[in-house]
Amino acid sequence: MRMYWTLIAGLAVVLPAPGHAQQQTGLVTVAEAMGAASLNSIEFTGSGFVFSFGQAYEPGERWPRFIQRTYSAAINYQTSAMRLVQVRSQGEHPPRGGGAQAVGADQRTVSVVSGKFAWQETDTQATPNNGAALERLRQVWATPHGVIKAATANAGKVDGNTVTVTVEGREFKALLNAQNLVEKVSYLSTNEVVGDYAIEIAYSDYADFGGVKFPRHIVQTEDGHPTLDIIVSDVKPNAAVTIAAPANVREAAPQPLRVGVEKLADGVWYFSTPNARNWAVEFNDHIVVVEGIGSEARSLAAIEEIKKAIPNKPIRYVINTHAHYDHAGGLRTYVAQGATIITHELNKPFFERAWARPRTIAPDSLSKAPKAATFETVSDKKVLTDGSKTIELYHMKGTSHNVANLLVYMPAEKLLFWGDGYNPPAGDDPRDRGRTPEQTIDLYRVITMNNLDVKTIAPAHGFGPKPYDNLKKAIGLIPL
């Protein structure tokens, strides 16, 4: 009797589990092939190319390319922590597309995550960025060993040559090669312009580093185009990686989005959040917003202020200077509220395609109450006027930043708004020190070609409003 019940009890435990046991066996085999079981931390360094997501020269085209002089990751899998050091320099000559081209001196960024804390590091300070923690943790679990560790810890499933696991709220798939090495990891991400999109990381050219297999070539694509392509030169398995969030990061409270409001001229208002600015212009019976910049959250906060500055008039139009994601991320909110988009004719088919895509990860107000966007398009020039106010839109032909970029000009007020090209720094020194002046010269050429009499520039990025002479000083036309 005793043996019988023991057997039943044993069966009762084992029977529901053979699938699970097989899964575990499969994962153990993969972990052994990868050398993952005994790997608690890793450092790897490479170099190659990095690309700027959402900053294509032409809507739908590949992302602009930069040189990645250094890509150096230090990961501790046990504490869910990673420090990533990247050094980039200008990659395309002449510049083509956005991403703050043309890069002047090499740019070094240090992005760190440790559990739920995330921050940027410089030599002297840590800037909290806890909102980035989840996406950075996904990067940790998307590494070749990370995905196998995540699958082992989170009841991942093996089906043929595919490992599937849900971690940090997303389903990851890892594809194995014939040697049981991870050759591709993919998961879904989200963006305000295109909605759901795939991140895929291909790992190839594996080598043995002290019993741990690691790829020597890593290619990441986002929404179908490369964002990283590096050759790995150095791998240190089980390097000592200690990453702890500094006190100011641990104690950082989420910052509410505050919109600064400034009057540029009669009936022209300037709305500012960190590094994102737009205008609202009061016409007789409606409002025209210049740039649906940023995100839905940014647009909702701005619209609240726009309605206070210009009460009791509907927002009938929103001008979009170009389709770069930092400029177009907040457009859909205006559409949801009934505004018509004015943009260059090349952008309309891009937005229509992008906005037909699924938005399962981050639904917005337009996806929750869908309606077709209405467009008025510009080819060379368009004038909006009702006698009280006039806005002129010019296609910025032949610029390196974007093929379908509009310049916004108000002739009576001599005011200028543009998508990118010159981001004035704070203070009186007009020089945009992060970049070479190529795109500012492009902008100056468009202004003079169209005989625009500009007095004040109130831009989308950087600081403003600034005197137009600052732009001329920045490109050496007026001495500093």
Interface residues toward Zn ion, by CB under 5 A: 98, 324, 420
Q: Which helix (H) or strand (E) holds 230?
A: strand 225-237
Give min distance, CB of 442 to Zn ion, in A.
Answer: 12
Token pair 């500009």 is at which residue?
454
> What is the secondary structure of 394-430 as a DSSP string?
EE-TT-SS-TT-EEEEETTTTEEEESSS--PPSSS--
Closer CB to Zn ion, residue 213 or residue 401? 401
Q: Rounded to whole angstroms, what are the CA distances from 131 to 29, 40, 159, 277, 290?
A: 36, 26, 34, 21, 28
Closer CB to Zn ion, residue 80 or residue 343? 343
Count of alpha carbons within 13 Å of 170, Cβ hemisphere only?
25
Q: With b meaning 16 or more CB within 10 Å and e meaning fewer, what string describes 115-143?
A: eebbbebeeeebebbbebbeebbbbbbbb
Give min distance, CB of 101 to Zn ion, in A.
Answer: 10
Q: Examine residue 102 and say whether the peptide bond preceding it is cis (omega within 30 degrees of 0).
A: yes
Q: Examine residue 465 and say whether the peptide bond preceding it is cis (omega within 30 degrees of 0).
A: yes
Question: How many angstroms separate the first and last alpha carbons of the chain?
Answer: 98
Give min distance, CB of 55 to Zn ion, in A.
Answer: 6
Closer CB to Zn ion, residue 143 or residue 273? 273
Closer CB to Zn ion, residue 272 or residue 439? 439
CA diameter of the chain = 101
What are the residue ranges of helices labelled H in 238-281?
Answer: 247-250
Question: What residues have CB less than 8 Å from 96, skipping those under 6 apart?
Answer: 57, 64, 400
Give min distance, CB of 60 to Zn ion, in A.
Answer: 15
Give min distance, CB of 229 to Zn ion, in A.
Answer: 22
**Tokens (6 digits) for 249:** 């990061």
Closer CB to Zn ion, residue 420 or residue 432? 420
Q: What is the DSSP letter of 56?
A: -
Give min distance, CB of 69 to Zn ion, in A.
Answer: 24
Q: Which residue is nearest to Zn ion (CB)?
A: 324
Closer CB to Zn ion, residue 80 or residue 320? 320
Closer CB to Zn ion, residue 419 or residue 465? 419
Closer CB to Zn ion, residue 88 or residue 136? 88
Closer CB to Zn ion, residue 96 or residue 136? 96
**Tokens (6 digits) for 9:** 């009890």
Give min distance, CB of 421 to Zn ion, in A.
Answer: 8
Closer CB to Zn ion, residue 145 or residue 324? 324
Q: Are 281 and 412 in contact (CB under 8 A)?
A: no
Give min distance, CB of 282 to Zn ion, in A.
Answer: 27
What are the residue ranges of helices labelled H in 246-336?
Answer: 247-250, 296-309, 325-328, 331-336
Give min distance, CB of 76 to Zn ion, in A.
Answer: 36
Closer CB to Zn ion, residue 174 or residue 318? 318
Give min distance, CB of 262 to Zn ion, in A.
Answer: 23
Give min distance, CB of 420 to Zn ion, in A.
Answer: 4
Give the number of other Cβ atoms within 10 Å of residue 5's Cβ: 10
Give min distance, CB of 401 to Zn ion, in A.
Answer: 6
356-363: long-range contacts (C-beta < 8 A, 24 or more apart)?
357/194, 357/195, 357/196, 357/197, 358/195, 358/196, 359/190, 359/195, 359/196, 360/188, 360/196, 361/188, 361/189, 361/190, 361/195, 361/196, 362/190, 362/192, 362/195
Q: Which of 337, 445, 412, 442 is nearest to 102 (CA)?
A: 442
Q: Rounded to whole angstroms, what are the CA distances from 323 to 320, 359, 374?
A: 7, 18, 16
Closer CB to Zn ion, residue 56 or residue 243? 56
